[in-house]
Structures are given as C-alpha cells and as structure tokens.
Structure 1
Amino acid sequence: MRHWCIIGLVILLAGRSLAGHAAASPIPLSKDPNLAALKALLAEPENRVDLAQAEVTIERMIDPTVKPAATLHELDAWADRVSARIPPGASNMQKLVALNTTLYQPGPWNDNRPFAYDFDDPLGKDIQNKLLTTYLKTRKGNCVSMPMLYVILGQKIGLDMTLATAPLHVFVKFHQDDGTWLNVEATSGGTLRDQGYVDQFHIQPRALLTGIYLRPLSKKESVGVLIDTLEEFYAHHRAPEFQLDLTELALGNNPKDVLSLLMRGSAYYHLLQTRYLSRYARPEDIPASQQADYQMLSNNNLMLFAKAERLGWREPTVQEDVHYLQQIQHDKAK
C-alpha cells in the first residue's frame, strides 16, 4: 500500500493506495486556539485587510517571543525611510525604485546594511528564517520573508502591489500605471517575466489555466501565504488534527492554495501511518471494526494529492532539486 506525504517543503513519495471508498466516523476537532484569531483576520473586508497585522499575528503563533507592536513600529519606520527618498511628484515607478534601492543598495538609508538573500539556508529549513521579524533583525531572507517585507512596505507607500506564487516560491506583482503587472523578484530586487518563472520552475500549462501559480493574489489570499508557513510549522510541532482544521480554513479562503491541499493530504497520511501503517503489515490485517477509518484516511490522502495534480501541481524531480542547489552555490560564490 503506498501513499503521498509532504514534510515542510520536501515532498516524499510514499506511494498511492488503491483502497475503495467507505464511510467512517469524522476526525475530532483539534480545539486549536489559533483558529479564532485566523478567522477574524479573514473576516475583514478585502479593502481593510492589513498584511502587516496579519504577519505579526501569525508569526506570534509560531514564535511566542515575537512582539507585534514593536515589529509594526519597525515596519512603519522602514516605510518612512522609503518615503523620505521619494521626490515630490514622483511616479509610481519612481516610488518602486526608491523602495528597491532602500532595501538592496547600501547607504545611509539602511545604515549601509542592505537586505540580502540568505545563502546559508536557501530552502528555509529553519522556520524561524521565514519570519519577517528574523529578516528585519538579520537582514538575510528567503523567498517568503523577502517578498512579504517588499509588499508590506510597498502598500504602505501607496503602491498597488501584491504577492504571487510559483512552486514553493513567492514573489511580488506590481500593478503599473498602464494596467499591466510587473513581476519583482524580491530575493534579488530584479524583475522576471511570467515565462521566466514557467521555465525556471517547470510550471505546467494546466497550472496557469487553473490559476494556482503566477496570478496576483487578493489581500486575503496573501494572508493565506502566511498561513502556509504556519501549516509548515504545524507539520513539525502539532498533531495532524490541528493541521486538518488549519488547512480547512486555508482552503475555504483560497481553494487554489495548492500547498494547503498537499499539507492536508499529508495530515491524513500521518494519521494513517500512526494508526495503521506502523502497526499492520497488510491492510487485510487491520480489524474489521477499523477498516472504514483506514479506508477514509487512505482515500482522503490520495484524493487531495490527485486534486493538486489536476490543478497542475507536479512533484519536483531529484534532478531539478540538485540543479537548484547547484545554482544556489554558484550564486553564493559570485
């Protein structure tokens, strides 16, 4: 019997099951105290969603030492630094350039300590390195923390910009005055066309058709990107039942959140592993009274990964992972 599982950002092919459908008793609720706060964030009208407030709220769920008020104050101070460098009557593109140079070019505006990519943890294996509070402190970030700061500051200075995703990657979409979107790769401060992301991340045409990648996200969907990081934290530090409740909330907010689909499928796999795969050599060895529960967990695991595939998700190959790490080492050496 084989199933799918995703741990953090690493996809493990534990296989697929051919189990048939069967009824089963529902999995108990997790009683997660974080759900109420998350629901309140997502209940805000779209035009009142505050990405900075959502960021610090969710980061505190991961790290209780995070001080939301202090972080919000620091974000306002950075927005002031950018604003101070914008000439009167500046166009939106000039404002974007001011934001870019304030973050990435050394100068008195950043105390000669520009923000840069963290080559020591390129995969973000340490969840702390995905937090904005860590990025503000170390000024070394990744494809989660870097676009998050970029968009928060951009919105604070009045730019129309938002987040967008590629496979296991987050970047920035800037709405230009001519109505077109400009992609900003916040890990470098450069720009990249949609086709560049398609080529680099091997995105399938189906994924573009269904909209799971490359489209500009709404503010609430951007909050979902933050929830994805919380899901990764839950995968390592909470029981699967917590993950099921959290991913249900995330998918209710954005049914095209493919990472939440994978995380939800993985939660069913972990329940399956704990209850049955680690205890019984063969499915037929499972007591008849527990067969329905086994079938339900198995079916849900496979159904969710199959749904992700229908939306255009594909499992990265080993060769692609190796090539990515080699490119990181090449860039680090430059």
Structure 2
Amino acid sequence: MPKIRYVQSRTVVFITGIIFYFLPFPLSGQLPSFRPPVPAPASFNPNLNFNPHTPPPSRRHSWDDNYRRNDEMVRRDMEQHERKQRIQQQELLYFREVIAFPEFSGIPGTEYFRTVREKLEQMLVGEQPVNLKSAVYLIENAYLEDKLDYNRFDSEIQNLKRICLLKMKEEKLDSDDPLAKIMMIFRVMTDVVRIKEPGTEKQLVHYPMKYDFEDYRCRNDMTNYMVSKLLSVNTGQCHSLPLLFLILAEELGTEAYLSSSPSHLFVKFRDGNTWYNAELTQGAIVSDDFYMSSGFIKSEALRNGLYLQPLDKKQLTAQMLTDLTLYYVRKYGFDSFVKESLGTVLKWHPNNIDARLIESNYHTARALHAIRCCGSPPKERLPLYPQVYELYNTMLQSYAVLDSLGYEDIPDEVYRNWIKQTESEKDNRENRPSPIKQIGK
C-alpha cells in the first residue's frame, strides 16, 4: 500500500550587506612631503604663487576617483538595504492575510468522488446498508471516471461465488457452515480448483490468484490497487486480494474481517472463540506471530489498536472512505475534499493508520506550500508569518501523533524481502517450524 515519509523544509539564509567606508589616505603615517626643485636662475619667476602642500595633479585625480567610487558603493548598498526592507514589509503585510491553497473541486471528474463519499457516509450513519461490493465498485469507478462496467464486475464475482458453491456441493460440505464457506473461498483464491459442470461432462478449472510483484505499491499505476484488475488478470496484491475475499464472504453470507500489519492487509476469521489469519499473498493460514516477525510492530501500536485488529462493518466502511480519499489525492492532490473526508474517517475510526498518514501528508503539503510562497525563509523567521508558522506547527503535531500511536514505516526493500522470504518458506514449511500452517486439501 501506498505509504508516507517525513518531509524536511528547505532553509534559505538571508545575508545582510555590510557597508564599508574607505578613506583616500592611510589612517596612520604622514602625509606625503613635497620639496620643490630649485629653479635655474634664467627660469626663476618671482611672481609664481606656488603652494608646497598641493599634491601632484595625478595623485589628486586618483583621490577624487576613490571618493566617487566609495560614494557610489555606499549609495548602492543603502538602496539595496532599503529595497530589502520594503520587500520584507510587503511580505509581512501579505502573509498576515489568508494564503490561498489549491482547490480542485471545479475539475471535471471530482464530482464522482463527492457522490461516492455521500453514499459511503450514508452507510456509516445507517441510511444505507453496508455493502462492500457496492463500495469497492463505486470507489474504483470514481477513479476511472465512470468507465468501469458494473455488469462485468458483478458477473466475475458471481462466477467465483458459483465455483465455491459447486465445489462445496461436490465435496458434500454443509452450505450453511460459516467456516466451510471461508475455507472454500480460501481454496478458490489460493489453489487450483477443478469441478464438474452440472449436467455436462465438462470440467471447470480455476487457477489460484498470484501476488503481483510489479509496482505492488502502486506508485506508477493506481489500477494495480483495484479489485477490478484482480478479477480481470487474476493477479493482485495485499489490498485487492483481501477485499475480494471479503466480498465473496459477503456474497456467501459468512463473516470475515479486514485487518492490517505495517504496509499490509489480510483477512481475519474465527472458529468459535479462536481467531485465524488468511494470508492470501502466501496461500496460507498464519498466526499473529507471522506478522510480528517483521519487527515493525511496536508495543505502542498494539496498545493503540493500529494492527492485528479485526475491523467491524463501520470501521471497514471508514477504511473504504480512506481508499476513496487516497485515490483522490493520487488523481488530483490535497484540497478541502481530503480534509473533509479524513474528518469523517477519523470520527468513526480514530486510530485508522492509513487515514493518519494521509492526514500527515495533507498538513505537510499545506505547510510546504505556504513556506514556498513566502520565499522559503529559515525556521527561525517563520514566527514573522503567523499563518505559515501555524501550518508548520500543525505539520509537526501530525508527526507527533504518528509517533505517539507507535507507527514505524517499513522500508520498501525490507517489505519486498519479507514477501519473497515467506514465499519460499511456504514451499518448505513442513521441514521446519513456522507460523505458517498449510491448509488441508
């Protein structure tokens, strides 16, 4: 899943000019002395008015040039200093007013997001029943600007549901058993399933869904995040695979729950009072220790319920609104829609870590935008710009919230290696102790 990093603001140092005043003669020592030559008698002129203290013409000309140059330097420095003061005064007057931030509500396509948000909010307050299949379709269709075919989307889900029911009937499993339904969904998604077409001699074969290692963080293509793409190409990642599992559970009338670990989603289900985890990227049932072994789950995060907790229906709907917000940010950017949506999410699920990360990025984007608008001053000058300084402090507070919740980012390379390691471990789990437990066929 998409993740967020801490951003440091740029610092620009303002240098104030220093004015130097130069004198045309040394501050110490004697003035140059001049002794006129004794004229020859034939050329002596008794009316000559000669001043022995007048320097030679060439030296006097040099001193005049120095005076003029120094006067010009002083004048330029004073003008530059006054110009900087005027600019700073104008900046202070300007930035004491409200800074305008980007707003994308007028761009064609944003109306789809507003419509979907309204429907998700109706699910949250009970005006509409919670329906995950509908929510996922609406969210992906908004990003694709109303170009996603619902009939095709639904028919592929119905086909998977039919395969589950036919296989359960073929193996004489109780179609009313909640755990049997969960196990069959798991098999259909993670194993090769062969069934006979009723009334014919044909055999239907469904192949397991694979983890897509290409752009699994969806930095280049957000459709890699989508259930609709998983249904189309049979490959997905830790966002689309669990959501499809939950949609099938909803269609079959059984209970399963979305849960998370750092940068990862999976499915929780239970048999009586015992909880299990369906790790669809590995095709295995795993314990909580499997996720704890990543080393990126702090005790504070567990105490605050960030990870390994099953989401109820309201929290799941809030998570869908978080997804809608993330799609909006990737397509347009940060604006009032993001702020309003996150406010709703955090009302229903205050410790939703994905929403908190988007919130932190939102405050960072606003603070950096304002700082750039006033010329990227150094941190110590920010109090001169009241609104900018307030935004800067809000940004820092959002970082402090993440720290207090126990959030720690998992690096891309660590996550990728973890996925690959558990992939190879899946094939050899019978040879050594492992938190991964193979499903019986």
1:212 is displaced (CA, Å) by 1.5
Does structure 1 residue 89 correspond to structure 2 residue 180?
no
Are 1:14 and 2:7 counterparts? yes
Q: C-alpha separation between the residues in 2 aligned to 1:220 and 1:238?
A: 27
Distance of 2:187 and 2:383 partners within structure 1 = 64
Contact 1:265 1:300 in 2 (8 A): no
2:378 equivalent in structure 1: 282
2:114 to 32, 35, 49: 35
Q: 1:221-242 CA distances to partner (integer Å, 9 max, x unpaired)?
A: 2233333333333333223113
SS at match of 1:14: coil
**Residues 1:75 and 2:126 aligned together:** no
Indicate the SS of the match to 1:314: coil
The answer as to 2:318 corresponding to 1:229 is no
Deviation at 1:101, TM superposition (A): 1.7
- The equivalent position to 2:266 in structure 1, one of 153, 159, 171, is 171
Aligned runs of 1:1-334 on 2, under 5 Å?
9-15=2-8, 31=105, 33=111, 34-44=113-123, 45=126, 48-64=129-145, 65-86=147-168, 87-89=172-174, 91-108=177-194, 111-125=205-219, 126-176=221-271, 178-200=272-294, 202-241=296-335, 242-277=337-372, 279-283=375-379, 288=384, 291-316=385-410, 318=411, 321-328=412-419
Question: Within 1, Cα distance between the matches of 2:237 and 2:97?
Answer: 42
Q: CA RMSD in A?
A: 3.0
Cα displacement (A) at 1:57: 0.7
Between the aligned partners of 1:274 and 1:222, the Cα distance in structure 2 is: 33
In the superposition, relative to structure 1, how do residues 327 and 179 fare at CA in structure 2: closer, same or farther (>3 Å)?
closer
> How far, CA to CA, are the matches of 2:194 and 2:353 in structure 1?
41
Structure 2 unaligned spans of 5+: 11-95, 196-203, 428-441
CA distance in 2, matches of 1:300, 1:145: 33
How much does 1:332 deviate? 7.1
TM-score, structure 2 as length reference: 0.64
CA contact (8 A) 2:267 2:279 kept: yes
1:331 and 1:202 map into 2 onto residues whose CA distance is 16
Cα 1:26/1:141, change in 2 over 3 Å: same
Structure with larger RCO (C-alpha < 8 A, sep 6+): 1
Measure the CA separation in 2 of the matches of 1:16 and 1:100: 47
Specify the code of the residue in structure 2 equivalent to 1:146: L
Aligned length: 316
TM-score normalised by the chain length of structure 1? 0.83
Structure 1 residue 155 displacement after superposition? 2.2
Q: Shift of residue 35 of structure 1?
A: 3.4
2-side partners of 1:195 and 1:332: how far apart? 16
* Cα distance between partner residues in 2 of 1:202 and 1:35: 35
| 1:201, distance to aligned residue in structure 2 (A) | 5.0
Contact 2:259 2:266 in 1 (8 A): yes
Which has the higher Rg, Structure 1 or Structure 2? Answer: 2
Residues of 2 paired with 1:326 and 1:208: CA distance? 24
Percent identity of paired positions between Structure 1 and Structure 2: 22
Report the Cα offset of residue 331 of structure 1.
6.5
- Aligned 8 A contact 1:244 1:264 in 2: yes
- Segments of 5+ residues of structure 1 without an aligned counterpart are 1-7, 18-22
